[in-house]
């Protein structure tokens, strides 16, 4: 296929450079295109989570995806840098701390929130028609850097947050496609372990001890 060939939707695309390459059809799809992205990270040395009185055992902590705080996003074009804007927003990351009461054995789920993360960055946001809108999207990967420990009526731990900020716009793209996906295989039904089935499929054991000649270099 020549580089300047522009097929219309539905017309076949043949990659002549590779005779083993299958034939595709050109399909037009609507997707969220990432125009620009960058990464940042935040570290909190001490996060305090209040807990009820008593002695608890730490079980686990799970973090929810970070989100931009509603009403905090502000996009300001930079006069001396065409297609670039100053973008400010706040990020909220929530989590669930799971503890076990050492006295009664109950499991306690405590909802918490990291300190708000303030971002003031420059992003590439190209000029576009008035009807075209860009979205500022974030993804986070949060992790506890230290195991939470109890300190009086608080659990204390350190947290690191990786953040990817994206400028996204909905566009139509022309792509080569095989067609629709085939039907998936049948789902596997869950079956509890049956000791008799395990026994029936186990290899038959040796009934008699090995002879001297069955061993290598025993003498």
Tens digit of each residue's pLDDT (9 = 90 or more) over 36-90: 999 999 999 999 999 888 888 899 999 999 999 999 999 999 999 999 999 999 9
Instruction: Write the pLDDT tens digit of every residue in 104-149.
Output: 888 999 999 999 999 999 999 999 999 999 999 999 999 999 999 8
Q: Say if CB 124 and CB 36 are below 8 A apart.
A: yes
Domain total in the chain: 1
Q: Does 64 reside within a domain?
A: yes
Q: Per the domain annotation, does 198 fall within a domain?
A: no
Residue 68 lies in a domain: yes
Structural domain includes residue 203: no
Nearest CA to 93 out of 142, 47, 130, 134 is that of 142
What's the CA gap between 76 and 158, in Å, rounded?
34
Q: Please check whether residue 45 lies inside any domain of the structure.
A: yes
pTM (2 decimals)? 0.74
Residue 1 domain-assigned? no
Indicate whether 186 belongs to any domain.
no
Domain that holds residue 55: 12-180
Residue 196 in any domain: the answer is no
SS3 readout for 134-200: EEEEEEEEEEECCCCEEECCEEEEEEEEEEEEEEEEEEEEEEEECCCCCCCCCCCCCCCCCHHHHHH
């Amino acid at each position: 296929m020549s580089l300047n060939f522009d097929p219309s939707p539905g017309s076949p695309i043949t990659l002549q450079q590779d005779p083993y390459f299958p034939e595709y059809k050109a399909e037009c799809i609507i997707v969220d295109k990432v125009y620009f992205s960058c990464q940042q990270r935040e570290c909190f040395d001490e996060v305090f989570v209040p807990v009820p009185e008593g002695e608890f055992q730490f079980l686990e902590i799970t973090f929810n995806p970070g989100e931009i705080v509603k009403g905090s996003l502000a996009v300001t074009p930079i006069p001396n840098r065409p297609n670039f804007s100053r973008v400010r927003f706040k990020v909220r990351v929530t989590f669930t701390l799971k503890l076990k009461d050492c006295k009664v054995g109950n499991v306690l789920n405590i909802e918490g929130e990291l300190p708000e993360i303030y971002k003031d960055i420059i992003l590439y946001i190209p000029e576009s028609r008035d009807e075209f809108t860009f979205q500022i999207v974030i993804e986070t990967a949060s992790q506890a850097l230290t195991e939470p420990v109890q300190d009086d009526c608080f659990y204390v731990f350190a947290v690191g947050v990786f953040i990817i900020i994206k400028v996204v716009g909905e566009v139509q793209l022309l792509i080569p496609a095989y067609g629709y996906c085939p039907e998936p295989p049948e789902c596997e039904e869950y079956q509890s372990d049956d000791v008799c089935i395990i026994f029936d499929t186990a290899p038959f054991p040796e009934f008699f001890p090995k002879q001297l000649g069955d061993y290598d270099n025993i003498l």
